[in-house]
Amino acid sequence: MRGVCVARGLGALLGNLWRRLRRAPADLAAVAAAALARLVAAFLLLAAQVACEYGMVHVVSEAGGPRGKDYCILYNPQWAHLPRDLSKASFLQLRNWTASLLCSAADLPAYGFGNQIPLVARGNCTFYEKVRLAQGSGARGLLIVSRERLVPPGGNKTQFDEIGIPVALLSYRDMLDIFRRFGRMVRVALYAPHEPVLDYNMVIIFIMAVGTVAIGGYWAGSRDVKKRYMKHKRDDGPEKQEDEAVDVTPVMTCVFVVMCCSMLVLLYYFYDFLVYVVIGIFCLASATGLYSCLAPCVRRLPFGKCRIPNNSLPYFHKRPQACMLLLALFCVAVSVVWGVFRNEDQWAWVLQDALGMAFCLYMLKTIRLPTFKACTLLLLVLFLYDIFFVFITPFLTKSGSSIMVEVATGPSDSATREKLPMVLKVPRLNSSPLALCDRPFSLLGFGDILVPGLLVAYCHRFDIQVQSSRVYFVACTIAYGVGLLVTFVALALMQRGQPALLYLVPCTLVTSCAVALWRRELGVFWTGSGFAVNTSLL
């Protein structure tokens, strides 16, 4: 986590450097020299002050009662290191001294903090002044309560050498929860366990993502080909009428990407307002997707075939079957339940993932790429879009943060604390400071499923048309799985959010193209002409 803290500060600095150079092209050399000097000085300052790590404070009640609980802390290991194992940490009495800022000797208690960890308020003086007074008064550690965003407690080398007790920041909300849950008499232990290389929840995300792509691609391809071969049959029954697939044109691709860029930037600057719009859209779209996925199964049920009476209502004039009406009500109810309880971290993620996979399946069935040329254009444009908003935008934003990661995980300074629902999310199964403090869930965006999934659907349609025993479909699905594994490895090595399309797009495109070359069908695969040849035989 220390590298993450330094990278954020350095990213913001490079962004400011870029803006200064862009504003003063006439005096480029002078500006560059001055900026370079500041960059070196700031880098040394960052190395000295912005080293930070997430840790945990384990709280237990002195009077028994509830089982102990971990809370997030942010500490600077240059003050004092924390043990990596809770069994090696000392449990000490926590003394609530938040009525004081601990900025002068007058703020100290009459008998000091002998073998205690004081809890003081942030503000009015430096971290060094607080911890120096606490250490001189016999404290074994210091917790500083912050109502603002947690920042690493900085200092300089001389101060680091002088202090021998750990100092960490605790959020005000966590402090309130500690005293509400455990009372005023508590004991605490500070520790910082190692982060696991990979969390087991990645296996769950992998199965959900690959399963959605495989099922969606298979369903979309089979449905499209079936409709081509059944065009001469007519069945106007309400239950047989399905939504027509939408062919994606180059113009639609450009418009879609522009809309994505605009929406992402707007969310970055107006997150607290637009997040509710996205939540509402997700509720409607996911209910529709869930209905579309369950409808084929419900139609096969032997009961509920009766239709509602004749009427003039907008939807009911088609006289839907009773079972389909009940299904629609069920899907809306599931979506509403998620919308109401979306912030219940213990179980709401299950509903979100189920609705999200249904939404992705619905989109894969509805949106169709007519040629491999269209697939290549869409995937490459979104490939560049993903890289830009993850890796380039940190140099352009004032905070040095990635727009994509900031929006996907929710801004840390958001007043609403809402998260965008357009992701698959699974809670971390390993106990770690990162899971407790920064990212309690592992995320995979719907775009990382839908975009390669459209190519998988095209491969399946092409397989059936040229009677290739689904070799394109299987190869592209396996390539998607491999690309996802590469994404997870990159995430573990870099310990930062990754643009999944950076790995998924090359894997799926190159594999599909290689299969076409191997079968000597690249021409028809590129233009989709295999569809026209086979359809003309009907």
Tell me which residue has tokens 């942030």: 122
Q: Name the strand (E) or helix (H) holding 460.
A: helix 447-466
Distance CA 187, CA 184 (A): 10
Q: Which residues contact 57 (CB under 8 A, 6 or more apart)?
A: 70, 71, 73, 143, 168, 170, 188, 189, 190
Catalytic residue among 70, 199, 353, 448: 448
Catalytic residue among 70, 199, 224, 386: 386
272 is catalytic: no
Cβ count within 10 A of residue 105 = 9
* Spatial contact of 89 and 189, defined as CB atoms under 8 Å apart: yes
Give the three-state DSSP class for 392.
helix
Distance CA 221, CA 245 (A): 11
Angle at 96 between CA 92 and CA 98, to 5 degrees: 140
Distance CA 405, CA 77 (A): 26
Distance CA 538, CA 531 (A): 12
Q: Which residues contact 427 (CB under 8 A, 6 or more apart)?
A: 201, 345, 349, 435, 440, 441
Q: Which residues contact 47 (CB under 8 A, 6 or more apart)?
A: 6
Give 366: exposed, middle or buried? Use CB within 10 Å, 0-12, 13-18, 19+: middle
Distance CA 22, CA 198 (A): 40
The token duo for 491 is 């995430």
Strands of 122-269, DSSP E: 142-146, 167-171, 186-191, 246-247
386 is catalytic: yes
322-340 helix and 348-366 helix, angle to the nearest 10 degrees:
130
Nearest CA-CA partner of 524 in 296, 370, 357, 325? 370
Catalytic residue numbers, as ranges = 386, 448
